[in-house]
Amino acid sequence: MASMHDLNPVVVYSASLVLPVTAPALPHGAVAVYLNRVVHVGTREWVLKALSEGPLRSKRVVERHWDGILLPGLVNAHTHLQYTGMASVGQQEYGSFQEWSDAFDVIYDDDALDKPWKDWAYDGARQLVEYGTTAAADITTDLEAAGALFSQRMHGITYLEVMGWENDNWNASGPEWLRDLVEQASQEGEAADIGISPHAPYSLESAPFLDLPDIARSMGMRLHIHLGETPSESGDAEDLYSPVSRSWRSHHWDSYPQLKSSGVHVSAIQFVDQLGSLGPDIHIAHGVYADAEDRRILRQRGVGVALCPRSNRITCTQKDAPVADYLREGNLVSVGTDSLSSSPSLDVLDDVSMLYDLAREQGYEGADLSHRLIRMMTLGGAEVMGLNIGPKRIGQINAGALADFAFLDIPVDLSSDEAYEDTLERLVREGSGTNRATVISGRVAHNNDAF
């Protein structure tokens, strides 16, 4: 008869190369997992020794070896899983952001079309897991899709989208509507955390943009906004250190478009900042139209950015995000795929590959580029959702962290420092489609013959 301690063995995942992200890389490394958490991380030899001497020494040990790279589960910092069934929109070519948006609305607004948001969202979550993603910032527009992350027992935040409100109707019924929505979503999502996503400063007037952060913060929820995505959100590059130097700041504007049409060329980032909406509990998607002053504001407020370079090309944002500047200046950055309605896949490694090329094209010469991209797609994604510290921390492999891992099929060459750097460069440039197994909270959620 099996004794009780056999029921939950310690699982040791060993690999040719372990990248803990919060510690130096480990050739011939291993991670010991008990229940849903990391117990030890180090060289395989050290981990086995520590287990045999520590408080878990009476437990049975099961080893799973991976001949490749083991790293923290990937974090997709911006997606809309419910649009997984709208890939036809993402596969066409457009002449402007408006054209893309119109093509999206043709399907979204057509009540005669069958749009199984829940099935599409759950399918998207399953795809994320296959790509090695264990957490996401998922925006839900239709409540039935709100359980997507939870359906795969993933981590991250389900952000309820709020869009299309004008000041008068918002003031009349908006806050009550939102409180009802949050209550219903909490039942749908269960373990998945709920956040609020005020869509964008061109789809919401000032009253909801003032209220939404207050409501979210009072309820302990985080926020996520599309910001600086479209050409209409660009501004001048003047600095705003002084609160009295720019007269537009002392007026009340009904909306961002009203401010722009009055002739004041201020960026959407600066407008939203003036409303008091920014802070370390919010991260923005895209940040394409972010000049030096905008990037300074984001750093000063502690706001992270989810870069979605492939989506920007499909929706015709007309330029790429300033990737090299973000890296040089030290902004908090992460990576998102956006949805299949504006992206060819939900594999965050496809966007990482494009970010590598963009950073080099834009003049980023640092030898640390591969290292920084690996950080962006793991710890950076955790950080922009506030999931980088505390008992629910992810995006890193260290004792006590949740056991979320990806196992990439990348040839590991440790014969020299140069060969090691080439291995990392290969991971970030050619890592797309190489995930072979995914572990979420210590459970094997996907295994394509990895072990």
The residue ranges that bind Zn ion (CB under 5 A) are 338
State in angstroms the smallest separation of the CB of 261 from Zn ion: 25
Task: Give me the least distance between CB of 225 and Zn ion, in Å please.
Answer: 10
* Min CB(315)–Zn ion separation in Å: 9
CB-side neighbour CA atoms (13 Å) of 426: 15
Give the nearer residue to Zn ion in terms of CB position, either 338 or 347.
338
Shortest approach of Zn ion to residue 79 CB, angstroms?
A: 7
Closest CB 103 distance from Zn ion, rounded Å: 15
Closer Cβ to Zn ion, 151 or 342, answer by number:
342
397, 398, 402, 407 alpha-carbon torsion, rounded to 10°: 20
- CB-based burial label for 240 (10 Å; 0-12, 13-18, 19+): middle
- Which residue, 138 or 338, is less far from Zn ion as judged by CB? 338
Nearest to 138 by CA among 352, 336, 407: 336
Angstrom CA distances, 429 to 350, 359, 374, 415, 450, stand at: 8, 12, 11, 20, 21
Q: How far is the CB of 286 from Zn ion (least distance, A)?
A: 8
Alpha carbon separation from 129 to 148, 261, 404, 442 (Å, rounded): 12, 45, 11, 14
Distances in whole angstroms, Cα of residue 47 to Cα of each of 5, 21, 28, 54, 269: 20, 18, 11, 10, 47
Min dist CB 339 to Zn ion, Å, is 6
Structure tokens belonging to residue 199: 């869509």
Residue nearest to Zn ion (CB): 338
Output 193 or 338, the one with its CB closest to Zn ion: 338
Q: How far is Cα 293 from Cα 82, in angstroms, rounded to an integer? A: 35
Residue appearing with tokens 């080099």: 360
Determine contact, residues 59/10, Cβ cutoff 8 Å.
yes
Closest to Zn ion by CB, 41 vs 308, is 308
Question: Quick one: 130 or 338, whose CB is closer to Zn ion?
Answer: 338
Residue number with CB closer to Zn ion (229 or 404): 229
C-alpha 388/C-alpha 403 separation (Å) is 13
Q: How far is the CB of 347 from Zn ion (least distance, A)?
A: 16
Is 188 or 338 the residue whose CB approaches Zn ion more closely? 338
Backbone phi, psi, residue 405, to 5°: -135, 155
Dihedral sign (CA 30, 34, 38, 39): negative
- Cβ 105 to Zn ion shortest distance, Å: 14
Task: Considering the complex, state which of residue 32 and residue 290 has its C-beta at the smaller distance from Zn ion.
Answer: 290
